[in-house]
């Protein structure tokens, strides 16, 4: 599966802890992330993460482009709802694309855990059919 990982600044520590806790699941999949989030995950876990630009510099849009091409299966985006984001329109567009292309999206740790546990059990394998692949 192709998984995108994004975290606002105040949520980056949470993302690193989350990926570290579920590294045994994540290491079996292809990971993509915005710049600093990807760097922090790689430093903490040693896993290979394809890094895009930082979110405010277009990273959200780069991930959105993969969604629009139906090339991502899961997006985990730890958002900070208490801090104004200068690139909020990009965030909204990314979430909209997840809805348009039926890409599962978790915006907090609780939902992300349910999603990752579902991935571990094979509950997300329907995405391979959506992309025209056979697992």
Domains and CATH numbers, the chain: 15-122 (3.40.50.1380)
pLDDT in tens, the chain (135 residues): 999 999 999 999 999 999 999 999 999 999 999 999 999 999 999 999 999 999 888 899 999 999 999 999 999 999 998 888 877 888 899 999 999 999 999 999 999 999 999 999 999 888 877 776 544
**At a CB cut-off of 8 Å and minimum separation 6, what does 75 contact?**
3, 4, 6, 63, 67, 94, 98, 103, 104, 105, 106
State residue 134's pLDDT score.
Answer: 43
Residues carrying an active site annotation = 60
pTM of the model: 0.92
Cβ–Cβ < 8 Å for 70, 1: no
Q: SS3 for 62?
A: helix
Alpha carbon distance 79, 107 (integer Å): 6
């Amino acid at each position: 599966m192709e998984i995108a990982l994004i975290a606002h600044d105040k949520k980056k520590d949470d993302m690193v802890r989350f990926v570290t806790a579920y590294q045994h699941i994540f290491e079996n999949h292809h990971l993509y992330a915005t710049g600093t989030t990807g760097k922090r995950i790689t430093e903490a876990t040693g896993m290979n993460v394809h890094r895009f630009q930082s979110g405010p510099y277009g990273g959200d849009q780069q991930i959105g482009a993969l969604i629009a091409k139906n090339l991502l299966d899961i997006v985990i985006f730890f958002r900070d709802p208490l801090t104004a984001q200068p690139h909020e329109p990009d965030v909204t567009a990314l979430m909209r694309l997840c809805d348009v292309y039926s890409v599962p999206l978790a915006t907090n740790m609780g939902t992300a855990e349910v999603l990752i546990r579902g991935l571990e059990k094979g509950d997300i394998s329907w995405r391979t059919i959506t992309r025209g692949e056979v697992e």
